[in-house]
Structure 1
Amino acid sequence: MTSFVITVPGTFGVDITDSTKSTLESALASQHTDVSESEGLDLLTLNEDGTFSVRLEVEAPDRYEAELNASRILTAALKKAGIEESDAPLGPPAVTGIDSDI
């Protein structure tokens, strides 16, 4: 297995309170580990115009599975934070870091 840092962009169509942001970050915290923390990456970047990006570290056999897993994790975290999928459309995930024993 390989550790991938995946960046998933999106846009909030609703206002995000500090409480909602905190709940979202808590739901994603387990995906912010060795590689992403050592690189000093922020888990969630929220811009003034409502756009955001989330950087998650996931274990997967390949890039495709890593991107799918990251999207699933983010979708579940958004739901847990009370944000409907239609209120936070996601853009295509991208690999922004890889840590492999190979």
Structure 2
Amino acid sequence: MTTYVITVPGTFLHDVTEEQRSGVKRRLRHRDPQNTDLGEAEELDLLTVQDDNTFSVRLEIAAPDRARAEADASRLAESALRDCGLTDEDAVLGPAVVTGIESDY
């Protein structure tokens, strides 16, 4: 099993409240990349939102391979957004990418 740091980019199509942002972070806190060597060294934030409403969700995912890690991260990010009341019309996600690998070997 390998631990990956996965970045899921997206765009908020409408303004989101601080409560919604906090809700997303709260739902994903257990996957915070700060728990990895890369996350700690790079001071990665769980959720980063830019002025133009683009955002990045960064998650720590343990998976047998890259494809599974990316799929799991996308699913978790989408679920957190939806749980906070953000639909596909409010927040669109891009493809997940590996931004770090921490092997258990």
* Ranges in structure 2 where 5+ consecutive residues have no aligned partner: none
Mapped partners of 1:100, 1:12: distance in 2: 33
**What residue in structure 2 maps to residue 85 of structure 1?**
88
Mapped partners of 2:11, 2:70: distance in 1: 18
Mapped partners of 2:75, 2:88: distance in 1: 11
**What residue in structure 2 maps to residue 38 of structure 1?**
40
Does residue 20 in structure 1 map to residue 20 in structure 2?
Answer: yes
**What residue in structure 2 maps to residue 11 of structure 1?**
11
Mapped partners of 2:97, 2:19: distance in 1: 27
**What residue in structure 1 maps to residue 2 of structure 2?**
2
Aligned residues of 1:75 and 1:85 also touching (Cα < 8 A): no
63-72 or 9-18, which deviates more: 9-18
Mapped partners of 1:56, 1:7: distance in 2: 7
Aligned residues of 1:78 and 1:85 also touching (Cα < 8 A): no
1:75 aligns to what SS in structure 2? helix
The total of aligned residue pairs comes to 102
CA deviation digits over 1:22-64, x for unaligned, max 9? 1111011011152164232100010111100010001100000
In angstroms, what is the RMSD of aligned CA positions? Answer: 1.2
**What residue in structure 2 maps to residue 60 of structure 1?**
63
1:13 maps to amino acid: L
* Ranges in structure 1 where 5+ consecutive residues have no aligned partner: none
Aligned residues of 2:7 and 2:98 also touching (Cα < 8 A): yes
2:40 maps to amino acid: S
Does residue 72 in structure 1 map to residue 83 in structure 2?
Answer: no
With normalisation by structure 2, the TM-score equals: 0.91
